Structure formats: structure tokens, C-alpha cells
Structure 1
């Protein structure tokens, strides 16, 4: 029944050691061999996903990836862009002013790097750069303009500080942007039309797969849109409770091969 499975990466595809378990690897290979599309759907930029696509043999004709929490959808082998929903300099100015008011930190995700409007990067900006194999570029905020490609803008800080930030974001910004927490220390702002659910819909329309025949698997708030949109929305056993609450099915944790369990049960029909 299911022809496509969209997989979040961190906390979903990868275990707590940031690795793909052999069981998960084998289930993905078998699903692909049986004709199912396996699509990585992540907040990461393409450079941060490419090693995993290569490891999983998801670089052939007809393989696709969703990056930047749905802002970019593209074919892996050709780099053909299916959907690209950007932000602009005015968005940066609004969010940057908010970070000043709330005494927190911001960085800009471009296709190639992270841009910070301060001299020294925050430790979580460094973490993001290392995770994705990209550089950090420091620029004076007055030098940041529409020559920059704004894929998404992130507020980064300690989890307890982000809790405070979230309670102080004006209501009109929630109406203006897609705002999702992708990790305890990452709060992401995207174009209002950009989310993993809309990206999954755009991809399905392009490759002519009914959305009802898709599975989406995730663990964090940035996965909520695709979990709601897919024919079968799955929360990891280690997911936030808010994600479990909207899911159709709850699988095992990422340390207990939860992705493999979903594939084995709903695509390969190996388990009841």
C-alpha cells in the first residue's frame, strides 16, 4: 500500500550515537529494492545529508531529499530543485531585532554556510556547522543584505533560555513564519509556506504518488507537519509527547531500530 517513506534524521534515522544501525540499513535497502521511495526529510542543508544519502545508496535516479525543514526539495543525482521557498533580508531584520530584545543568539542558514551577525559563534552554531560540515561566516549585521540566500533563520541558545524565548515571541510572528523547534537548543524560523508537510506534498505531486500512500516518521516539532500530512504519521518511541499525540502509530525508539520496525511492518509486511 505505501509507496514512499519520509524519514527525519536526528533522533529518528540515527541512533543516539549518530549512527545508522545495521537493522535500519537493511530494511531501507530492502524497501528500496521493492520499489518504495525512501526520502530523508531534515532540517539539515544538503552538505549535511549527502554522506547519509551515500551510505544508504539513496543517490540513484529517482531518489529525492527534503532539506532545511521543507524549504528545499530536490532530486539527489541531478540536484534538480523541485521546490525552493526562501526568506529575505527583511525577515532577518525582524528576527535579529527579536534576538536583541530577548538577549539571545541568531544565525542564518544559507545553502553553503552559516552566517552570524557577531564576531564569536555560539557553541550551538559551532555544533550545527560541525554536524553539517559547513563553515561559519561572521558578518556585521549592516553587511547582511538580499545578496544572502536566506534558507532559514535560527535562534540558538540553552534549552531553558529557548523556553523563555518561545513564551515571548509575539503572536504575529507565529502568523508570519513557520516556527519549529528542531532540537532543545534550536528554534527555527522559515517562510510560512515552508515545512516538511508541504514539501512532502510537493514531492508527491511531482512524482505522482498519492499522499495517502506515504509514511512520515519523526520525533521533534519540526516533523509535525509531515506526520499530520502523510497517509501514516509515525512518532518515534523517543519522540516528544506532542508528536506522539498527533501520530497514527508510535514505533520503537531510535536506539531500538524504530525506523526498521516501521518499514518491516508497513512496507515489507514482515511483522503483524
Structure 2
């Protein structure tokens, strides 16, 4: 059950052609390569929300970071984060859905990583725990430059024993970074027997509980709002977007998306650096070419 009371915006008189929900990924989709949201994309989202379209952020990012983008866009809708493991409220921090990876499963994921010469991170609602020093340094730099990470904590795990408290605290997603693509394929096949596993990049795996995905999270919200799949648009670029692209009546791949995403989408829009989200919204929501 979602503990959220969303205000219903007033219609502006623009003719809409049937879609009631637009679900948008962040990285490689709404964000350009410099991690900015263009004014053109912002305006398209404002126009959609002003016309009673529910715009949903659906990202692999941690919840505390995703919230900042929702506030930046002025959204008052649920947020899907950690690739579907968390569905959260914007203003009050009440969570309708938080799919925690149990202690033993976390241990198993960690051991697989340690035995495969890879680096690993686990994330909760507001903290990223990692044994990857390069990632820790990179995130610290990002935090200094990017206000959207202001409420996200980075915890560097240096000792094996430290993981125990991390796993007891409740984590919702794990990310493993490999050196070789061949290792990714092997571990992905092994992990897929117990978990939901997708590639974020060619050498990175995202791991959540089995059955957890952006598509499942959108299904939960669709039922909550009384919206059918045919009334939903989903826009993304990566393998972790496939489930929502397949679930939505209109699945849209970014021009910069991987082949597997493009092949499984209904339409391909422009790239993330060329306002692909705005062009998709204008075309399919407002019937503007």
C-alpha cells in the first residue's frame, strides 16, 4: 500500500491522446552526458504534469539521489529507485515498497564477487557501501560538484568484518564491477538462478531480489492509480529499462540505447543529448511531430 496523497493538477486545455503515465529513466535518458536535464526536457515534463499526466522517475540510482531529481522537476508522484527495489514518497519519506535483500543472500553475493576479482557495492535508501576505492573517490568528487547527491552517504568498506553490519542494516541492491566482460557473462548466468540480474554497462551488473524490476514497480503503481499498460509510456536506454519498456503500451528506446533495448521497443526517439525525452512526450502525449 502506498502512503501518499498526491494533488491532482488542473488541465490546461491541451489535447491529449490517451496516455496517463510516463515513466522515465535518468542516466542516458533524461540526463545528458553531463548529467544535466535540458530546459526543453523540463518544459515537456511540466506540460505533461500540468495536464494530469503522471510522470514517474524510474532509475537504478539510490532513493536519496532520485528524490533530488523529482524535486528539481517539481514532481509530486512516486519515485522508483534502485531499479525497482524501492518505490518511495517524495516529501515525507514514507515507503510504499522496499524490497530488502536478506542477510544470507547478501553474503552469497559478496562471496561471489570476492572470488571473481571484482569490486562490489550495496545500497540502502540513502547510503552506498563499497569496497571499490576508485568508486568511492569518484562519488566523493561527484558529491562536491552535484547537489543531487547532498543527502547520499558514501561508506568505504575496508575490512571484511564491516560487511556484517551493512547487511543487517538492510540493503536493496548490489552492483558488481568487473575487469573482464567474460567474467560478467559467467557470473550473470550463475546469479540469475537466485536473483534479478541485469547489465548496467558491459562490465557492471545490478542485482536485486528475484522478481524485482522497474517493470514490476510500474505495474504496482499502475494498479494503484487504475492505469492500464496501454495507457503507459516508458522511456529508457539500458538493460535495466527493458522490463518497463516491455510492460508499457508504448515502450520507447533512446537513440543512444543498446541494441537489445532498441530491438524490444515500439519506437526509438532522439538521444539523451538531443532532448529525446521531450520529443517522445510531444509526439505520443500531445500528438506533435
Q: TM-score, normalised by structure 1?
A: 0.90
Residue matched to 1:181: 199
CA distance 1:14–1:35, change in 2 (3 Å) = same
Native 8 Å contact 1:74 1:81 kept in 2: yes
Specify which of 176, 186, 190 is matched with residue 155 of structure 1. 176
Residue matched to 1:259: 277
Residue matched to 2:104: 90
| RMSD over aligned Cα atoms | 1.8
Query: Could you tell me how far 1:208 is from its partner in structure 2?
Result: 1.4
Residue matched to 1:81: 95
Specify which of 201, 214, 229 is matched with residue 232 of structure 2. 214
Number of residue pairs matched? 262
Residue matched to 1:54: 71
- The 1-side partners of 2:136 and 2:225 are apart by 35
Native 8 Å contact 2:133 2:156 kept in 1: no
- The 1-side partners of 2:275 and 2:161 are apart by 47
Secondary structure in structure 1 of the residue aligned to 2:115: helix
- The 1-side partners of 2:99 and 2:138 are apart by 25
Specify which of 204, 228, 236 is matched with residue 246 of structure 2. 228
CA distance 1:126–1:37, change in 2 (3 Å) = farther
Native 8 Å contact 2:19 2:53 kept in 1: yes
**Is the counterpart of residue 23 in structure 1 residue 34 in structure 2?**
no
- The 2-side partners of 1:246 and 1:27 are apart by 25
Query: Could you tell me how far 1:128 is from its partner in structure 2?
Result: 4.8
Gaps of 5+ in 1: none
Residue matched to 2:266: 248
Residue matched to 1:144: 163
Specify which of 55, 65, 79 is matched with residue 65 of structure 1. 79
CA distance 1:185–1:47, change in 2 (3 Å) = farther
Q: TM-score, normalised by structure 2?
A: 0.85
Native 8 Å contact 2:63 2:88 kept in 1: no
Query: Could you tell me how far 1:181 is from its partner in structure 2?
Result: 1.7
Query: Could you tell me how far 1:125 is from its partner in structure 2?
Result: 4.2
